[in-house]
Structure 1
Amino acid sequence: MRLRFALLLSVLSLPLHAAQLTLQLGDSDKQWQTAELLQHPQARDIRIEQDVSYKKPMTYRAVPLAVLLEGIKPDDHLQAVALDGFAAEMPAAALLKQGPAQAWLAVEDPAHPWPPLAKDKPGAGPFYLVWTHPEAGNISPEQWPFQVASIRRLPPVAERFPALLPAPGLAANDPVSRGFALFQKNCLACHRLNGAGDAQFGPDLNLPYNPTEYFRPEFLRRYIRDPQSLRQWPQARMPGFSASILPDADLDALLAYLGHMAKRKL
């Protein structure tokens, strides 16, 4: 009887909808289960004052992401892949910092699920990369991937996808070169360009046409700042990039890159 009772208690204590996070950081993969992360020695409750996805303050049980990235160095490159095909490209340096802007892996407790992101949409779980004090690190919305399924170390974007590269010989401070870096940070998580990229979320931004070819410049700027101001539809997913996230000079550089790549179609 005691054995049966003990077994019953152990079964009841298991999460009903536990999930698994896969880390591909070296020669072998490591899997973390929901319960393991919730009980991690460094797990704690954190408050996000302005959550990018929920658009309001949120509290999460979370683990500092840096403690999970064993063997990763600041000059490494990581990619967080979500269940819906979103693929956030992230230099490791920012993820490893202890602050003031710090990355956390928020873990959804199956016994207390997070709310839906919107009507008829799922929540951000089971794993969500969130930031405390993101303003201190110039963290963009695309660096908040939710429904994360895996995090993997990969070669830099320029090595993996040469079709994204601007013309050779440009100076490092050329607006097109700067725009390429901004494209990787803000656009590549959702979009491909010239068929290159891992995202399976949004349309290709050069094939068959580049947005600089069919948007008037003032409307393209407005669309990037506030997509719903031009095209309103219930299932819209593209976030707006305010001037606090993408300053005007950065937006100029991003548009310079897009316009440049319109002449480099593959």
Structure 2
Amino acid sequence: MPALLRRLCMLALCVALPLRAAELTVDLGHGARTYRTEQLLARGDARTIDIPDDVSFKRAMRYRAVPLKALLQGARPEDALLFVASDGFAAEIPATTILQAHGSEAWLAVEEPARPWPPLAENKVAGPFYVVWTDPQAMRIGPEQWPFQLAAIRRLAPVAERFPGIVPDLALKPDGAVRKGFAVFQRTCFACHTLNGQGEARLGPDLNIPHNPTEYLREDLLRAYIRDPQSLRHWPQARMPGFDRQALSDAELDELLAYLRHMSGRKAHPTSP
């Protein structure tokens, strides 16, 4: 009986304690705004949504969520937006993908303090904020466009202005494989990797310094690694996701490799750490 009373007292204490709300910062160049958990959950446009095949949880999930475009007032379709996670992940998503979507819709899932989400693999957590998509297949939304542990959203200058070291030779044809591969790189790789020491992400190694993967991996092995990293080297702690043909077509993979091969001849060592 004493043990049961202790458990009941602990439960009562947990219920009585105030639940800590998380904060999300949105800075679109007009002054940063901070959104707290309770504010987002109390919004009139908050909805309960079902995600049949969640990219991170690998199963059906239900969330309390807010339409993401409702939090991006002042953003322009031509803007680039950086989604910064607390674990070092940084995903750049074109604003037009969210503001002028055709079929897919982006939502900010908000973790309710009283109903925490289950842990991800390796006991990682997705909360407190997580970008999820309804009908992602309609616009071929890739797994890197589902950032979790979201802490901030920032409006960015064009990528060529911010990171000139990742830009291929501008003399190349805009519709050529290398320039197309540069766009694929930004969509699929730049969320986790830097190149020539430039970029926001800190999850994966640099893809050009000291060596470009096209320099030390045979092309067939590199293709296999991109499709399924565990097929090349089984490592339970690995964090890189695989890119199947739905997320990255064979043609896009060809273009990505063309860009990486091109950039292996354009190494630019950063001048500062």
TM-score bracket, normalised by the shorter chain, equals over 0.9
Q: What's the % identity of the aligned pairs?
A: 59
Show the counterpart of 1:43: 46
Q: How does 1:30-179 map to 2 (within 5 A)?
A: 30-97=33-100, 99-119=102-122, 121-179=123-181
- Structure 2, unaligned stretches of length 5 or more? 1-14, 269-273
Query: Do structure 1's residue 214 and structure 2's residue 216 form an aligned pair?
Result: yes
Name the CA distance, whole Å, in 2 between partners of 1:160 and 1:51. Answer: 32
Distance 1:218 1:73, change over 3 A: same
Q: Measure how far apart 1:168 and its partner are.
A: 1.9
Show the counterpart of 2:195: 193
Output the TM-score relative to the length of structure 1.
0.93
Q: Measure how far apart 1:33 and its partner are.
A: 0.3
SS at match of 1:74: coil
Show the counterpart of 2:21: 18
Q: Measure how far apart 1:97 and its partner are.
A: 3.2
Letter in structure 1 aligned against 2:133: W
Name the CA distance, whole Å, in 2 between partners of 1:15 and 1:63. Answer: 23
Runs of 4+ with >2 A deviation: 12-15
SS at match of 1:36: helix
SS at match of 2:25: strand
Q: Measure how far apart 1:39 and its partner are.
A: 1.0
Q: Measure how far apart 1:57 and its partner are.
A: 0.8
RMSD of the alignment, in Å? 1.4
Name the CA distance, whole Å, in 2 between partners of 1:173 and 1:13. Answer: 61
Name the CA distance, whole Å, in 1 between partners of 2:235 and 2:79. Answer: 38
Name the CA distance, whole Å, in 2 between partners of 1:83 and 1:73. Answer: 25
SS at match of 1:47: strand
CA contact (8 A) 1:66 1:97 kept: no
Output the TM-score relative to the length of structure 2.
0.91
SS at match of 2:58: coil
Letter in structure 2 aligned against 1:35: E
Q: Measure how far apart 1:14 and its partner are.
A: 8.0
Q: Measure how far apart 1:98 and its partner are.
A: 5.3
Name the CA distance, whole Å, in 1 between partners of 2:256 and 2:48. Answer: 37
